[in-house]
Structure 1
Amino acid sequence: MNSNLRQDLLNTVKNNFIDKDDYVGVGNLSAGLVLNQSTDTNVYRVLKMELATCESFTFAVAFINHQGLATLLTVLRDLHKRGIKGRILTSTYLYFNKPEVFRALLEIPNAEVRLFNEKNAKNEVLPFHAKGYLFEHKKYMSAIIGSSNLTSSAILNNYEWNFRVNSLTNAELTQELSLQIKDEWQKAIPLTWQWCERYRYEYENKHNDENILDHPQVPYYVEDRRPIEPNLMQKSALGEIADLRNKGIDKALIISATGTGKTYLGAFDVKNYQPKRFLFVVHREQILEDALESFYKVIGGNRHDYGIYSGNHQIDLNTKYVFATSQTLSKDERLTQFSKDEFDYVMFDEAHHLGANQYLKIFNYFKPKFCLGMTATPERTDDFNIFKLFDYHIAYEIRLQDALENEMLVPFQYYGVEDYVHDNQVISDASSLKELVADERVDYIIQQTKYYGYSGDTLHGLIFCSSNAEAEELAEGLENRGIKAKALSGEDSIKTRDQVVKELEKGKINYIVTVDIFNEGIDIPCINQIVLLRSTQSSIIFVQQLGRGLRKFPGKDYLTVIDFIGAYDNNYLIPIALTGDKAHNKDNVKDELEIEPIYGVSVINFTHVAKERIFESINHSNLTVKRKLREEYINEKRKIGHIPQMTDLQSSSIDCQVIADKYKNYYKFLLEMGEELDNLSDYQQKILSFLTVVLSNGKRKHELLLLRNLIEKDKINDELYEKILKQNNCYYDQETVNSVNYILSLDFFKGKALPNEQSYGGQALVIYKNGEYRLNSILRENLKNNLFFELFKDAIETGLLRSKKYLSNKSFTIGERYSRLDACRLLNWKHVVSGQNIGGYRFDDELKNCPIFVTYDKRKSNSINYPDRFISPSVINIYSKTNRKLDSSEVAKFKDSEMSLYLFVKKSNDDGVSFIYLGQCKPEERSFTQEYQKITHKSLEKKLVPVVSFNLQLSTPVDLNRYYMLTKLDY
């Protein structure tokens, strides 16, 4: 904190409690409510931010559940590495806290835990219902007091009220809190392993394993007397399938994430359809047995109507519901026993296997009235098109993120932790077997798995390794340390695999260690911990392996996923896999990694070191290499059955910004993807490049809306244009209208700066005259070319689709990324200015505005290392350009009350040309200070040059995640 802390806090108190208009508060010092209004501003985010930046912490909370504690384990681990400790005061009130919670608390090395023990006159322990969090920072303290216990629901999505206050360490409030905590802490009982054992016995006797406040939901597949009913998403899917059939469509595909109940969905649909005979085909016999049971539970009837047809089972050929393996049914002598129209309903589970000869042979043989394919992973890397098989009819799609949000799966706690380091050597793809199974690494793995824990009384774990040899030796290493484990590989028989799975389910072993044989086609709902000890080679495989533990199971509140992140080239795939992002945009991937998305109560966490390893991988990766883009493009083409438009890609896969940066326009992209298209002229291609590079990013809708309407109308007058803008909730002023004219006439690009007007055809796209807009006659004539017209229109619609990311009633959207060129345009400058000429900032004296660009971490910068630093989420200290003094005219412009200042910040030069917009700001009058910066001239002579430092007060405090992302090097 700076020396003005006392004054900042005084102004903040006046702002919070007296008059918000007369006094300016400092964001991180402000008092205010902490609510679970969104995943960006919930209690969990605030707690995590406070922890990440504190000097010590104290939690006084009555109720803690394992999942709530689990959300904070990585930040607590990072604090431990920095030597920062804390205290946790909790209780046994109402026997809410399960024994496993106390065991987990004891695993946290930098937190001392005690149990409330305040007693009344009868020597009875008083009810403890406190919910407070106290954080010591440098020279001040923060406290969060309210309704949120440390449970996953309370800190993530329940309707909660909490009050956050800040004070200096000598303030009465701080002293009162500290004394109260000190008093209770001295009376409290230390938590020990011996106490945990006694509590477990007492809890089991008195509590009967019932959670008083958070009643666990019974999975719908657990047998009871109630009829099994479809959930909301299944009902929606059933409606879509029925609608397709009503339209005469005879085949369809269901895309349903692992664990979302697609087998039950199929059974519900068969029950609705009431076929005379039904065939279910899959590639593994174990799946058949489970599927048959599921169908019988839903449909009921005579048990003899259900039969398995496989190498180990024969059936009456007249059985109504036939469940067959592809290996058995595909044999000619077996297949021809059935007529081609034998079954009026055929269902293929794991339908992505239809590319295999056995599956395809069965698919082509039968001619049912209706055929349904079900898969979690329709995307393939070979040339087979599963979508084409089903005539591009996707009845319903339930992706992982949607399933988590809708509570169809058990939530997960994902921990990205750094892999073992020995003698400065990090585990990598090049590591030898000896390094992978070294005693030190095995001990480290066990330490991490114990720390991050699991939900439930018994550990049911699945470990994925990089090789069968590693799996064998790791299993042996675990056994030698008293942890029961067995290795399985593709060489083991189905019988052996099934036997080992049963041992895991019964708790006879704790871990199955394998490579990839459990990626799909097997259900082990009891799995409550997944350990990933290999590089991520494919986002599809990553999700498949994650999905092994996402099925609901009694007593399992969540799945623990521990991903050991070494120095792997493919680490960049981790955030892509976790978020389902297919945009191939590095900025998106980095932002998602920093924000650590939340899906319902599923939380993604990385340790600091693990996150830095992923960032390094992102920086060195090429997400836009032609092979990767073509794979994504082909998947989209297969899905829709024709050449995708850019809008199709923007909706669900490749970001148009990637196409703009790499190919300039979609026509060139399609040619690179191997499409054969009619030739377009140089002029037409340059126009498409203008639309794609300048407008399709959607950062301002004004030009796009005008062009869209001019395609349909010969002319548009001022009044109609204003009406169009207002109908689309766009801001409207004369400077912006003038800017639109500069852009569409290409006057904005005239000059030496690149891109210039010749880059975009050299001719105005729109002519504005006598209060009317018209398309240039040259452009109008070119639009008679059908291909050019379609691509022109597609670029406009892509921009309007992408514009949904941005506020249409403001020039900039806080938290979004902009380049210097974007800023020139959106600030309504008459001409583009090269980035070099803008530098850290540039004033437009006529329009009275100035964008300020700050690269926060300058360790990789070739420029002068200005020590720009955030003082708080509302205040940043920045520096002028060199050779500026307090009386410089440029410094006076910063102080000009009519000058609008816009702050853009990026973490480092690894972020490329884009900066995150943090909002408008004003300088603090008294903060301007003359300083001198040491620079090195070409002669290598070091010289001190004058610079001016000053504070900027942001109108909107920086989002907590952004603030920590930018400033964590400061702590």
Structure 2
Amino acid sequence: MILLTDILERSLKKAFIDQRVEGSIYDPKIIINDVETKQYMLNVLQDELNSCQEFFFSVAFLTQDGLAALKTQLSDLHRQKITGKILTSIYLAFNQPAVFEDLLNIPNIEVRISKKQGFHSKGYLFKQTGYHSFIIGSSNLTMSALKINYEWNVRLTSYNHGKMIQDIQKHMEKEWQEAELLTPEWILNYKNFYQPTTFFKEMTMVNEHSLIDKDVPYIVPNKMQKIALANLAELRESGAGKGLVISATGTGKTFLSAFDVLQVKPKRVLFVVHREQILNKAKSDYQKILGGLDKDYGILSGNKKEIDAKYLFATIQTISKEQILAQFPKDHFDYILIDEVHKAGAKSYHRVLDYFKPSFLLGMTATPERTDGFNIFELFDYNIAYEIRLQEALEEEMLCPFHYFGVTDYERNGELISEATDLKYLVDEERVTYLLEKLTYYGCSGNSPKGLIFCSRKQEAQTLSGIFNQKGRPSSYLSGDHSLEERENEVERLEKGEINYIFTVDIFNEGIDIPKVNQVVMLRNTQSSIIFIQQLGRGLRKDHSKEFVTVIDFIGNYKNNYMIPMALSGDTSRDKNNLRKDTFDANFISGISSVNFEKIAKQQIFTSINKVAMDSMSELRKSFDLLSNRLGRVPYLKDFQEQQTLDPLLIANKKATYYGFLENIKKNEATLTKTATIFLMIATREFLQGMRKQELILLQNMMNDLDRSWSLENIKQLFEQESLLVSDEIIRSVLNTLDLSFYTGSLAKAYKKQAFIEKIENKVTLSPLFKKEMNHAYFIKLMEDILDTGKMKSASYVPTELLTRYQKYKRKDVLRLLNWQQQMVDQNIGGYTTSNGEFVIFVTLKKGENFSGAQMAYEDELLDTSTMKWFTKAPRSLNSPEVKKLMHPKDWTIRVFAKKSDNEGTEFYYLGDVKPVEETIIELEKPTQDGGKKKVVEMLLKFSEPIDLNLYRYLEAGQD
């Protein structure tokens, strides 16, 4: 039995005496915020909270955003009845009253205020099982310190009886006893004398890129706008008469268009919008940029007809009327701009665009993708002048930071809210109480909430609004049934603070500007990534009244939950591995924004990911059409990979080949032979993933010189030129793959011995059958597309390693990449197999009650990021051949592959190589499923390098 004290001794020795010593998760560690690796102090705090039994923070400064980033972890701890303490101060009057109010709303934290002058500590203590971990350094509990600033922090681990931890605990307890308890009365008293420091005022100033500051006498373009303006000018110089700008909501599209008008200097401008309430704001923004007389600016709407203005701002509903159009010459406007141009598929827009003949037409949208068949890209001659999406806009600090909370929706009788939940339960008194508790807990930036709440049904929204009013939360309800005037009145009331919330269903997704919104609440199933981002975007416009936006998404038992990480990350590949990663490791969000899921909500997302068919024909066709519209032609696999719009594996494998998919939708260029389709099918299955680049490079070079014979030395030189791993075993394995001799069983039968190459007297040439198909240009095009795409995808794999850690592999692929001469049937491999000095282990961690193929209930388990408890097959004893191999590990490379459950399919994460801990190898008996007993050998396996912590957390999380 390995003692924790022994592990801690090794960790200290590795850190402070000899770095070559085997380490563990307990190693002392320096923590520095690193944007490139996406590793932050915030992650470490969250991980410690996820596993602790109690905690104690001693921090001088706290901000609402820093506290917000930990609220889901604190909520999960509350469910487990785990509590903590925070000791803070009023040093320099940095801590705002609002952050103390937030602290008071967290039920499992006790807070005290130090009376010490100059209290400036930054320490985080966690009681874990059998030990304590603590972090000391420079980071306060502010989002900047946890994610952005250059900070130095050290994480240390101590056995419970260590002197240092005893000293820290004694000191903290002493300070705690001398400090003052945080109470509502204390906060009220603090408010009375609180004056923010100059430093804090400057720190919280909202940088709005000079776009809405009315006191700025001269407004200049921001970084994004300068690039877009240069691109637009270049477009016009090339003779283009149209341009499309794709820009996230809140990034200053209207100002951009005004700057472009300024540089073009047209005689007359038409600005077309789809909602009347946008007109006055657009007109005002233009006046700030262009200046001039008031009479130069006019409105064309149902109420105003100022058609003689130089700069005319019109609603599409009015300008599209025949009698209105007839009042203008066709060339009246030199420059026409269409706002929210993704709506331009409507007949009203067609009438306007067909009528006018401007010198330049500019379209602006945050979401050009449409599902109704209309091609926005074609409308603008595929001229994309500039594109900036949510992630980039956050990186450029163009949007208000947000904190997204994936919150578990209300449970009734042990069941979560779902699509089928009856309305009466959606508006049930207990659910409303639960909603209000969560809204209070996650809070907002500012004096009071100014929130939009998106519901699934009109009656739900209307009823909830009424109940909120009864409970002292002033709110209103709006839908498409309300007039423009009614909507504007309610928005004005929200901005003035007369109401806290507007409940809505089918409006406010777009085309409305409410900068003061500081809370966005989602009480509905996510139906599309586009709508999700549109609703999120309602709060992202910067405003001096808020430092961040709180987004609270109530996640129930919805089949579309998988869309949430897809929307937040911007990843449209439909790759389940990516979605899982983005759920358990939400570091894809840039800047001081954050994404956090409560534990149960996270499990709901994983369940949805596992159940959904990512390759449904309707979704694949939708992705195909979107990319086809963007490119103006039939896309190929490499286009999907380059544009990052869809994982090409999904669309290629749907009908066995991409040729089969194109044939199904009647988009193929020509008809190929059965032989050709089998070659494409083999290449799709074996090469498209790009796991090993050698096959791709060799086959592509052979295709470029059909009649050449390749010696083994030629092949070796080729691989060396490409900086690829090379050995006699690798070359033999590559050739066995290309001549199909590696494959056995059902795969050999499916591949029909259609070898790509043949070997004759140590020379390699293309097979006659393959060369024959090379006479068809369309076959060559599709084959090269597979190889080019495979090479692009190979960038995800380390070229100098046989296998890449944390990538997923099927058993077949593992054997091929480890240079096995022939494939083994999966059932014959089972949990492990050995050959040529390689011992490969495949583990399913969450086996469930009906785990197929198991004689007994195996209890394989990841104990920590460095250790796995593992069992051999049964019956086995200490004298079994494979056990003897494990007892002499120096002769073997032992590799572990694991998946969470069978719900993840047949692929396993490669976790790395291990060594058995000799003293833990024991023989024991375990009950079998037929009621008997069989011998089995149990042992601990030690990883040579710790497993990625986020992957470990995911694999060890509860059942999905």
- Whether these two folds match at TM > 0.5 is yes
Counterpart Cα distance in 1 of 2:458 and 2:826: 53
Q: Considering only aligned residues, what root-mean-square deviation do their CA atoms show, in Å?
A: 1.9
Counterpart Cα distance in 1 of 2:395 and 2:700: 36
Alignment of 1:7 with 2:24, yes or no, is no
Which of the numbers 520, 527, 551 marks the counterpart of 1:561? 551
Q: Could you list the per-position Cα deviations for residues 126-180 of structure 1 after superposition, in whole angstroms to 9, with x for gaps in the alignment?
A: 2111111111111111111111111111111222111111110001111111111
Residues 32 and 164 in structure 1, CA contact (< 8 A), matched pair in contact too: yes
**Other-structure match for 1:54:** 52
Residue 899 of structure 2 aligns with an amino acid whose one-letter code is K
Alignment of 1:290 with 2:281, yes or no, is yes
User: What does 1:300-339 align with in structure 2 at a 5 Å threshold?
Assistant: 300-317=291-308, 319-339=309-329
Alignment of 1:501 with 2:491, yes or no, is yes
Alignment of 1:871 with 2:863, yes or no, is yes
Cα offset for 1:717? 5.1
Residues 45 and 961 in structure 1, CA contact (< 8 A), matched pair in contact too: no
Residue 857 of structure 1 aligns with an amino acid whose one-letter code is K
Cα offset for 1:950? 1.2
Q: Could you list the per-position Cα deviations for residues 437-484 of structure 1 after superposition, in whole angstroms to 9, with x for gaps in the alignment?
A: 111111111100000000122311110111221111111111111111
**Other-structure match for 1:121:** none
**Other-structure match for 2:808:** 817
Residue 103 of structure 1 aligns with an amino acid whose one-letter code is E
**Other-structure match for 2:897:** 904
Which of the numbers 19, 30, 33 marks the counterpart of 1:33? 30
Counterpart Cα distance in 2 of 1:703 and 1:792: 13
Residue 725 to residue 274, structure 1, CA distance change in 2 (3 Å) = farther
Instruction: Look up the SS of the partner of 1:409 in the other structure.
Output: coil
Q: Could you list the per-position Cα deviations for residues 752-806 of structure 1 after superposition, in whole angstroms to 9, with x for gaps in the alignment?
A: 2x311x4235132133556654322321231121111110000001111111222
Which of the numbers 504, 519, 534 marks the counterpart of 1:544? 534
**Other-structure match for 1:123:** none
Residue 157 to residue 733, structure 1, CA distance change in 2 (3 Å) = farther
Which of the numbers 64, 84, 87 marks the counterpart of 2:85? 87
Instruction: Look up the SS of the partner of 1:605 in the other structure.
Output: strand
Q: Could you list the per-position Cα deviations for residues 677-698 of structure 1 after superposition, in whole angstroms to 9, with x for gaps in the alignment?
A: 4221111111111111111101
Residues 408 and 600 in structure 2, CA contact (< 8 A), matched pair in contact too: yes
Worse overlay, 785-794 or 895-904: 895-904
User: What does 1:264-413 align with in structure 2 at a 5 Å threshold?
Assistant: 264-317=255-308, 319-413=309-403
**Other-structure match for 2:918:** 925
**Other-structure match for 1:650:** 641
Counterpart Cα distance in 2 of 1:108 and 1:280: 49
**Other-structure match for 1:150:** 141
Which of the numbers 711, 715, 724 marks the counterpart of 1:730? 724
Q: Could you list the per-position Cα deviations for residues 255-311 of structure 1 after superposition, in whole angstroms to 9, with x for gaps in the alignment?
A: 111112111111111111111211111111211211111122122233322211111
Consecutive unaligned residues in structure 1, runs of 5 or more: 119-125
Counterpart Cα distance in 1 of 2:959 and 2:375: 51
Cα offset for 1:660? 4.6
Counterpart Cα distance in 2 of 1:770 and 1:14: 57
Residues 519 and 548 in structure 1, CA contact (< 8 A), matched pair in contact too: yes
Residue 9 of structure 1 aligns with an amino acid whose one-letter code is L
Counterpart Cα distance in 2 of 1:50 and 1:508: 41
**Other-structure match for 1:947:** 936
Residue 402 to residue 218, structure 1, CA distance change in 2 (3 Å) = closer
Counterpart Cα distance in 1 of 2:147 and 2:204: 14
Counterpart Cα distance in 1 of 2:918 and 2:598: 40
Residue 560 of structure 1 aligns with an amino acid whose one-letter code is T
Instruction: Look up the SS of the partner of 2:923 in the other structure.
Output: strand
**Other-structure match for 1:855:** 844
Residue 970 to residue 328, structure 1, CA distance change in 2 (3 Å) = closer
Counterpart Cα distance in 1 of 2:124 and 2:959: 23
Residue 332 to residue 586, structure 1, CA distance change in 2 (3 Å) = same
Which of the numbers 792, 799, 802 marks the counterpart of 2:793? 802
Worse overlay, 295-304 or 698-707: 295-304
Instruction: Look up the SS of the partner of 1:569 in the other structure.
Output: coil
Alignment of 1:639 with 2:637, yes or no, is no
Give the structure-2-normalised TM-score.
0.96
Counterpart Cα distance in 2 of 1:596 and 1:310: 45
Residue 202 of structure 1 aligns with an amino acid whose one-letter code is F
Residue 821 of structure 1 aligns with an amino acid whose one-letter code is K
Counterpart Cα distance in 2 of 1:307 and 1:805: 55
Cα offset for 1:618? 2.3
Counterpart Cα distance in 1 of 2:111 and 2:717: 64
Which of the numbers 620, 629, 634 marks the counterpart of 2:620? 629
Alignment of 1:935 with 2:928, yes or no, is yes
Residues 210 and 216 in structure 2, CA contact (< 8 A), matched pair in contact too: no
**Other-structure match for 1:591:** 581
Residues 637 and 652 in structure 2, CA contact (< 8 A), matched pair in contact too: no
Worse overlay, 211-220 or 602-611: 211-220
Residue 213 to residue 522, structure 1, CA distance change in 2 (3 Å) = closer
**Other-structure match for 2:162:** 171
Instruction: Look up the SS of the partner of 1:780 in the other structure.
Output: helix
Residue 869 to residue 308, structure 1, CA distance change in 2 (3 Å) = same
**Other-structure match for 1:42:** 40
Q: Could you list the per-position Cα deviations for residues 638-675 of structure 1 after superposition, in whole angstroms to 9, with x for gaps in the alignment?
A: 11111100111223222122235432211011122332
Residue 905 to residue 294, structure 1, CA distance change in 2 (3 Å) = same
Residue 14 of structure 2 aligns with an amino acid whose one-letter code is N
**Other-structure match for 1:747:** 741
Residue 168 to residue 290, structure 1, CA distance change in 2 (3 Å) = same
Residue 504 to residue 214, structure 1, CA distance change in 2 (3 Å) = closer
Residues 683 and 761 in structure 1, CA contact (< 8 A), matched pair in contact too: no
Instruction: Look up the SS of the partner of 2:573 in the other structure.
Output: coil
Worse overlay, 866-875 or 133-142: 866-875
Instruction: Look up the SS of the partner of 2:890 in the other structure.
Output: coil
Cα offset for 1:433? 2.3
Worse overlay, 331-340 or 231-240: 231-240
Cα offset for 1:592? 1.8
**Other-structure match for 2:951:** 962
Residues 46 and 960 in structure 1, CA contact (< 8 A), matched pair in contact too: no
Instruction: Look up the SS of the partner of 1:568 in the other structure.
Output: coil
Residue 724 to residue 453, structure 1, CA distance change in 2 (3 Å) = farther
Residue 8 of structure 1 aligns with an amino acid whose one-letter code is I
**Other-structure match for 2:908:** 915
Q: Could you list the per-position Cα deviations for residues 50-86 of structure 1 after superposition, in whole angstroms to 9, with x for gaps in the alignment?
A: 1111111111111111111111101110111111111
Residues 880 and 947 in structure 1, CA contact (< 8 A), matched pair in contact too: yes
Consecutive unaligned residues in structure 2, runs of 5 or more: none
Counterpart Cα distance in 2 of 1:439 and 1:139: 43
Instruction: Look up the SS of the partner of 1:367 in the other structure.
Output: coil
User: What does 1:176-325 align with in structure 2 at a 5 Å threshold?
Assistant: 176-204=167-195, 207=197, 210-211=200-201, 216-221=206-211, 222-317=213-308, 319-325=309-315
Residue 64 to residue 721, structure 1, CA distance change in 2 (3 Å) = farther
Residue 179 to residue 280, structure 1, CA distance change in 2 (3 Å) = same
Cα offset for 1:226? 4.5
Residue 970 to residue 277, structure 1, CA distance change in 2 (3 Å) = closer
Residues 45 and 960 in structure 1, CA contact (< 8 A), matched pair in contact too: no
Residue 223 to residue 728, structure 1, CA distance change in 2 (3 Å) = farther
Counterpart Cα distance in 2 of 1:695 and 1:794: 11
Residue 588 to residue 218, structure 1, CA distance change in 2 (3 Å) = closer
Residues 620 and 651 in structure 2, CA contact (< 8 A), matched pair in contact too: no
Alignment of 1:674 with 2:666, yes or no, is yes
Residues 558 and 608 in structure 2, CA contact (< 8 A), matched pair in contact too: yes
Worse overlay, 851-860 or 721-730: 721-730
